[in-house]
């Protein structure tokens, strides 16, 4: 059946005939090979159809092996977070959590995804694990970063680089297919929402648990935070990934719905904010803190644009959504132009520094990417093109961010002499 499904992907009628001939066998075979055929549009259609039927009839069960992989991956992440205290080392003294939390989270996620792959490529798996090991050695052997901006930048950009490495694992090492990059971005939208919900629920449970024990005169706050909460924190993205993989009919609806609600609200908020910024005379050229907030605003809006595009591209009627995204992209370009001019002004006044070069480079990358996205959104609005052309502009640019994160993480400390 698996071979028949592969051969008939270009023939929807034959796929329907196969399904009707043996529904259970078709369903089992389809989900077994789905990771290999996910880039075919017809595969996404069949995936949605089969999952919709399963969720309504409550027939789909959680795969026991997947549950086992979840437990093992969460235990791995938890053990790595607790290693210093088990050896009598104070984690805060060596900035252990600042340096290693991102490594542990993405290692746990990569380990979970690698375990769940139907066809294991041991060479690729060993390569990925080696990258994480080398990253851990590198960041922990760096000099103390308290007085070094270049080292702090390395701490910040290493998780971004590892996010790209995890993306390679998630798309099954298929670097050529842009559709798989889009699938990874869609997954990240769902992951962010579900992880946030899990953390909110976990935070509420933590507060209730600590309060309940305090009523019976037992103070468990330190024990709970150091042994349960911290493990739950690093495990939450892995649990969210498990939910996305096990219950896609539920998770697939989250990001598109939230994106369509928030993109108009973000547009209005950003427009009003820029007006009041001018009225109040805020100056990003001489106010370093305000420039930092300005850049964080730009990153947030950029993320909204990207996740709204990839989350709603499959919806047919996109004219209103296209206008919202186009206006949001234009405003983002204006914000980036102001930020770039402010950074260039500060470089001219005070010279080059690791922070200024990093912010300048990041803003230049975002500016070029926004130009490409805005141009394609204009074609969507004016010519009625599909939103998928914007997806391609987003997907094709991802390696540029990976290269920049690699440069800042591993070369900035050397270039700037550990300053």
Are residues 383 and 273 located together in one domain of the fold?
yes
- Determine the Cα–Cα distance for residues 209 and 205; give it in Å rounded to an integer: 6
Instruction: State the residue for tokens 């993109």.
Output: 263
Residue 55 is predicted with a pLDDT of 43
- Determine the Cα–Cα distance for residues 191 and 244; give it in Å rounded to an integer: 8
- Determine the Cα–Cα distance for residues 331 and 338; give it in Å rounded to an integer: 11
Residue 41, pLDDT above cutoff 90: no
Are residues 142 and 171 located together in one domain of the fold?
yes
Which residue would you say has higher pLDDT here, 57 or 301?
301
DSSP-assigned letters across all residues of 268-292: HHHHHHHHHHHHTT--TTT-HHHHH
Give the pLDDT confidence of 139-152 residue by residue, as tens digits: 988 887 667 888 99
Per-residue pLDDT band for 200 (boundaries 50, 70, 90) equals: very high
Q: What is the dihedral of CA 215, 218, 223, 228, to 10 degrees?
A: -40
Residue 57 is predicted with a pLDDT of 41
**H-type alpha helices, 58-119:** 64-86, 96-116
Which of 206, 224, 246 corresponds to the end of one domain?
A: 246
Are residues 220 and 259 located together in one domain of the fold?
no
Residue 163 is predicted with a pLDDT of 94
Q: What does R_g of the chain's alpha carbons equal in angstroms? A: 24
Contact call for residues 126 and 393 (beta carbons, < 8 A):
no
Are residues 51 and 122 located together in one domain of the fold?
no
Are residues 118 and 226 located together in one domain of the fold?
yes
Are residues 345 and 289 located together in one domain of the fold?
yes
Give the pLDDT confidence of 91-134 residue by residue, as tens digits: 777 788 888 999 999 999 999 999 887 677 788 889 999 999 99
Are residues 43 and 126 located together in one domain of the fold?
no
Buried b (16+ CB within 10 A) or exposed e, 152-169: bbbbebbbbbbbbbbbbb
Are residues 218 and 328 located together in one domain of the fold?
no
Across the range 29-47, mean pLDDT stands at: 76
- Determine the Cα–Cα distance for residues 66 and 244; give it in Å rounded to an integer: 12
H or E segment at 319? helix 319-350
Across the range 374-394, mean pLDDT stands at: 83
Which residue would you say has higher pLDDT here, 184 or 255?
184
Per-residue pLDDT band for 252 (boundaries 50, 70, 90) equals: low
Separation of CA 145 from chain center: 26
Are residues 12 and 81 located together in one domain of the fold?
no
Residue 60 is predicted with a pLDDT of 47
Does this model's pTM top 0.85? My answer is no
Which structural domain range is residue 282 located in?
253-415
Which of 193, 222, 246 corresponds to the end of one domain?
A: 246
Which residue would you say has higher pLDDT here, 90 or 229?
229
* Residues 6 or more apart in contact with residue 142 via CB below 8 angstroms: 99, 151, 154, 413
Q: What is the sign, positive or negative, of the torsion defined by CA atoms of 372, 378, 379, 381?
A: positive
* Residues 6 or more apart in contact with residue 193 via CB below 8 angstroms: 254, 255, 258
- Determine the Cα–Cα distance for residues 260 and 11; give it in Å rounded to an integer: 33
Which of 213, 231, 246 corresponds to the end of one domain?
A: 246
- Determine the Cα–Cα distance for residues 328 and 305; give it in Å rounded to an integer: 7
| 64: its two tokens | 């026991």
Are residues 216 and 353 located together in one domain of the fold?
no
Are residues 327 and 387 located together in one domain of the fold?
yes
Q: How many residues does the chain have?
A: 419
Mean pLDDT for the chain? Answer: 83
Residue 126 is predicted with a pLDDT of 92
Number of domains in the chain: 3
Q: What is the dihedral of CA 303, 318, 375, 344, to 10 degrees?
A: -30
Residue 107 is predicted with a pLDDT of 94
Are residues 34 and 79 located together in one domain of the fold?
no
């Amino acid at each position: 059946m698996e071979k028949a499904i592969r051969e008939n992907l270009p023939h929807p009628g034959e796929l329907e005939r196969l399904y009707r001939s043996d529904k259970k066998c078709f369903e089992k075979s389809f989900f077994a090979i789905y990771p290999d055929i996910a880039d075919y549009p017809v595969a996404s259609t069949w995936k949605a159809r089969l999952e919709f039927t399963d969720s309504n009839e409550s027939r789909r069960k959680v795969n026991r092996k997947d549950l086992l992989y979840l437990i093992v991956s969460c235990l791995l992440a938890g053990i790595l977070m607790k290693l210093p205290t088990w050896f009598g080392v104070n984690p805060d003294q060596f900035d252990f959590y600042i340096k290693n939390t991102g490594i542990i989270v993405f290692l746990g996620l990569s380990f979970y995804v690698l375990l769940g792959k139907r066809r294991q490529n041991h060479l690729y798996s060993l390569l990925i694990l080696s990258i994480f090991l080398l990253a851990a050695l590198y960041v922990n052997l760096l000099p103390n970063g308290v007085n070094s901006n270049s080292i702090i930048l390395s701490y910040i950009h290493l998780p971004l680089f590892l996010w790209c490495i995890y993306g390679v694992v998630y798309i099954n090492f298929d670097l050529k297919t842009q559709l798989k990059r889009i699938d990874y971005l869609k997954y990240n939208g769902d992951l962010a929402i579900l992880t946030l919900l899990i953390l909110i629920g976990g935070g509420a449970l933590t507060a209730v648990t600590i309060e309940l024990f305090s009523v019976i005169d037992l103070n468990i706050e330190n024990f709970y935070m150091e042994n349960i909460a911290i493990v739950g924190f690093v495990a939450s993205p892995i649990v969210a990934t498990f939910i996305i993989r096990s219950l896609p009919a539920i998770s697939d609806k989250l990001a598109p719905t939230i994106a369509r609600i928030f993109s108009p609200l973000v547009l209005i908020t950003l427009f009003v904010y820029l007006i009041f910024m001018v009225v109040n005379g805020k100056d990003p050229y001489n106010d370093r803190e305000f420039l930092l907030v300005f850049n964080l605003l730009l990153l947030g809006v950029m993320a909204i644009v990207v996740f709204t595009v990839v989350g709603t591209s499959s919806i047919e009627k996109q004219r209103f959504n296209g206008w919202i995204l186009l206006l949001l992209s234009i405003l983002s370009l204006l914000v980036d132009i102001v930020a770039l001019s402010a950074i260039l002004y500060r470089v001219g006044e005070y010279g080059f520094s690791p922070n200024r070069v990093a912010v300048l480079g990041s803003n230049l990358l975002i500016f070029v990417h926004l130009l490409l996205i805005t141009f394609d959104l204009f074609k969507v609005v004016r010519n009625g093109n599909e939103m998928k052309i914007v997806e391609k502009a987003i997907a094709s640019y991802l390696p540029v961010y990976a290269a920049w994160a690699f440069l800042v993480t591993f070369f900035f400390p050397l270039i700037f002499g550990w300053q």
